[in-house]
Structure formats: structure tokens, C-alpha cells
Structure 1
Amino acid sequence: MPRFAAGVVKFQSEVFPEKKELFEKLSHGQSPEALFITCSDSRIETAMITQTDPGELFICRNAGNIVPPHTEHTGGMTASIEFAVSALNIPHIVICGHTECGAMKGAMNPEGLDSLPHVRQWLGYSKAAVDIVNHLAPDADDETRMKMLLEQNVVLQLQHLKTHPAVAVRLAKGDLALHGWVYDIKSGEVVAYDEASGKFEPVAERYAAEVAKHLGHSGCAA
């Protein structure tokens, strides 16, 4: 904890002064470009991965980057999604999974979660993804099955997301886009889901035109 306190002091004395204008602007409100749903894992640093500043991402985190299907029950994810989509009018939602995910390892082997009943119940929202892996790759090695599960879980949560009324309305209007990513902790690679092909591609390929345009505006080589 002393290290964290020292970090706050350093932020106040060194970082904040350099970004004072940004924080002054943010003190009047927020207008994030995306709702970023990812895992609670401490190794996932959203701002570092996306190179974004405060105010650009509305972030929701939980074990397994899970989005429960919509029900009449009010939960934290349901409320956060509704607020981001209906109040903040964000134009993009990203669901980002990651390698070495303990939640997905637990989903694949739920018998090891007997001492964590709430975790086990929560990971039930990923069961369909596990079933797909068991059906399509029953004899594959563990690494292949886990890679498939990480991707299938992201696709499943995107499907769950579409059951939320606020999301469904915006999708029907055509002013909201959904994105599914998987981040590789070891390599730094991020792959993105292409709904048309049903495959995951490197972000640089999936968003080639957008990336080239943005880097061009930034004065960087594409």
C-alpha cells in the first residue's frame, strides 16, 4: 500500500500538471467513444492496450468479461450497459477476452470451483461456449481448446449483449457497433472478430482502413 500511496503523490505532482487541461475538460462531463467490457484480471491494462486517455473509454470489468443475457433483474452489468448506451450514447462496444484467463480455465473445469460457488454460478454464463468447444474439438490439446474457448466466449457474450433492449434499439437504428477482441498477454497481439467470416483476425487487418486513416491523421506512417 505505501507504494500505491507514493504513486498517488507522483500522479499529483508530475502527471496531473502535464494533463491539467484534459482533466479540466473532463471535470465538466464525459463523452467516451466506447464501452469496453473486459476481464477483472490485473494484467489487463485497457488504456495501455488501446493507447487511450481518461474519458475515452467507459470500462466495465468482471471475471471472464461476461455479459449476462437481459432479464428483469437489475445487476451491475445491466445497469452499466444501459447507462453507457442510452445516457452516454456511446457508438461502440468492445468485449475483450484475454489469454491465460483464470475464469475461462474455471469454466472449462467447473469441478474445481466447489469452494467458489458464486464464481461457479457466474461462469454458467459461459457454459454455451464450453459446450461448443466440447462439440467441435473434443480431442484437441488443451492449448487449442482454450484458444477456441476464449474466442467462443467473446462471441457468446456479444450475443448476450444483443438481448439488452437499449443495445437492440441502437443496433436497429444503425448507430452502434459491436466488437469482439482477444488480447494475448505474452505477445501483445490483439485479434478481432469478423462476423461476416466468423473468424478472428489481427486488429491491424480487421480495421486496416480505419487504422491507416487514423495514423495518417496522427502524422505517423501507416
Structure 2
Amino acid sequence: MHETLADLLSRNADHAAAYADRFDDLQDGQAPDAVTVCCSDSRVLQDAMWGNDEPGRLFSVGNIGNRVVQRTDEGEVVSGDVLYPVAHTGTDLAVVVGHSGCGAVTATYDALTGGLSDAPGIEHCVSLLRPGLKPGVEALPDDRSREDAVNDLVEYNVDRQVEHLRDSDDVPDDVTVAGVVYDFADAYPGERGEVHLVNLDGERDPDALRAANPEVADRVSRRWTY
């Protein structure tokens, strides 16, 4: 057996022993407080970043590029895995979680600036990001390094995903939509692993966000205002 698989099964046995009595109220349904849309990067610890160890609290969605859209015959719509908890479990908070050094944003940036391509499945995911990121790439200051450009575009991508959710007729108006960036690469001031609020219901101005939300003013941070 693969050594890693054996280790995972062993760790799961410990998990099962610790959580055996924590599903009693969840076996017949769920009502998560929030849906989080995270990049599936292995460095992004989707529940641990929130200190969450409570089954049923977070509906965690992961994909490369923390996308909220999928293509259908009718065009682009909010992805079903993101929409499900909002439409069927009463969840009224959606949090889009980008992260520093995002590989999907990097691939999209490279595709837009150098015409690079990848395997078809990855290319499909990048193609879902490309239309939204193209204006951002064009608006980047000329003196941006590649690393800084990617981290600026991480914010820009989060903004676009927030915009998709807010513009969709399938997402009720009373759902709060937040955009954050999880930083493990020193792209923001503060500790590695901190989540930085960059967008709340379409508001991107840090001063306005701090004024309106003083209780989390120290968690508001942006690299790029445009």
C-alpha cells in the first residue's frame, strides 16, 4: 500500500474516535453558517484557517482559482457546488478565498501575457478565469514584477468572483458576499496564515471598509486599489 494512504487511514481512525459523537444532530441535514470558495491549493487549509473543527458549520468548496462560475449551454452561471448551500440550506454568507502566489492566477497571467497553454482540463479552468482577469492584466502598472503582478491579480480575481455572486439572480440579495486573501507568502503585512478582507458586498476601498466595520478594521488590507 502507498505509504501516504496508510498514514491517511491511520489519521482518519484518530479523527473518527474523536468525532464519533459529533454528528448526532447532522445526520438528517445541514444548515452551514457560510459557504467558503477556496483555491484547492494544498497550502490553503480550508477549515483550519478559520479555526473550525465543528462539523456542519462551513460548506467548503475547493477548485483551482477559487472560481464561482461554471459554463452551461445557457452561458456562465454560479457553480452548483457554490450555490447549493445558499439555495437549499439557508446559508446567508459566501466567502471567496484567494491566496498569495496562486498558481491558477499565475497560469492565467502567463496565458494572457505569453500565450502559454496547459493540459485540456487545466486549460478549461484557466479559460474560466481569463475573461475576468484580462482587464486586470491590462491595468497593471508597467513596473510590476511578475510576483507582484500575480499577487495583485489574486485580489482582482477575488473581486471578480464576488461580482459574479452579487450579479447573479440565483443568489438572494440578503446573502452577504465577502472576498478575502489567505497569505502564506508575505504578500501582506502580518502573520503568515492570516486572512485579509479585501472586499465586502462589492466595497473594495480599505478606508470605507474599516469605517463601516470597525470591529475588524485591523483585518482589512489591500495591495492594489484600481
Compute the TM-score of the two structures, normalised by the length of structure 1. Answer: 0.77
**Is 2:120 aligned against 1:125?**
no
Q: 1:24 to 1:151 in 2, by over 3 A?
A: same
RMSD (CA atoms): 3.1
Cα gap change, 1:80 to 1:184, in 2 (>3 Å) = same
Q: Secondary structure at the match of 1:17?
A: helix
Matched, 1:40 2:45: no
Any idea what the Cα deviations from partners look like across 1:180-202, whole Å, max 9, x if unmatched? Answer: 0111124112111245752469x
Q: d(CA) in 1 for partners of 2:212 and 2:116?
A: 36
Q: Which one of 136, 142, 146 corresponds to residue 146 of structure 2? A: 142
Partner of 2:101: 100
- 1:106 shift after superposition: 0.4
Residue equivalent to 1:191 = 196
Letter in 2 for 1:185: F
Paired position in structure 2 for 1:164? 168
Q: What is the one-letter code of the residue matched to 1:9?
A: S
Aligned pairs (5 A) from 1:47-66: 47-52=47-52, 53-66=54-67
SS at match of 2:23: helix
- Match of 1:46, SS state, is coil
Q: Which residue of 1 aligns with 2:189?
A: none
TM-score normalised to structure 2 length: 0.76
Structure 1 distance, partners of 2:71, 2:117, is 27
> Per residue, is there more helix in 1 or in 2?
1
**2:69 match:** 68
Match of 1:215 in 2: none
Contact 1:130 1:149 in 2 (8 A): no
2: distance between equivalents of 1:124 and 1:103?
Answer: 10
Structure 1: which 5+ runs fail to align? 212-222
Q: Aligned residues: percent identity?
A: 25
1:126 deviates by 2.5
Q: Which residue number in structure 2 is paired with residue 209 of structure 1?
A: 215
* Inter-CA distance 153–75: structure 2 relative to 1 (3 Å threshold): closer
What residue ranges of structure 2 are gaps of 5+ in the alignment? 186-191, 218-226
**SS of 1:23 mapped into structure 2:** coil
| CA drift at 1:137 | 1.5
Name the SS of the counterpart of 1:131 in structure 2.
helix
Q: Residues 145-196 of structure 1: CA distance to partner in whole angstroms, max 9, x if unpaired?
A: 12210000000011112343221xx11xx2x100101111241121112457
**Whole-Å Cα distance in 2 between the matches of residues 182 and 198 of structure 1?**
13
Structure 2: distance between partners of 1:103 and 1:43: 13
What is aligned with 1:24?
Answer: 24
Q: Residues of 2 paired with 1:49 and 1:21: CA distance?
A: 24
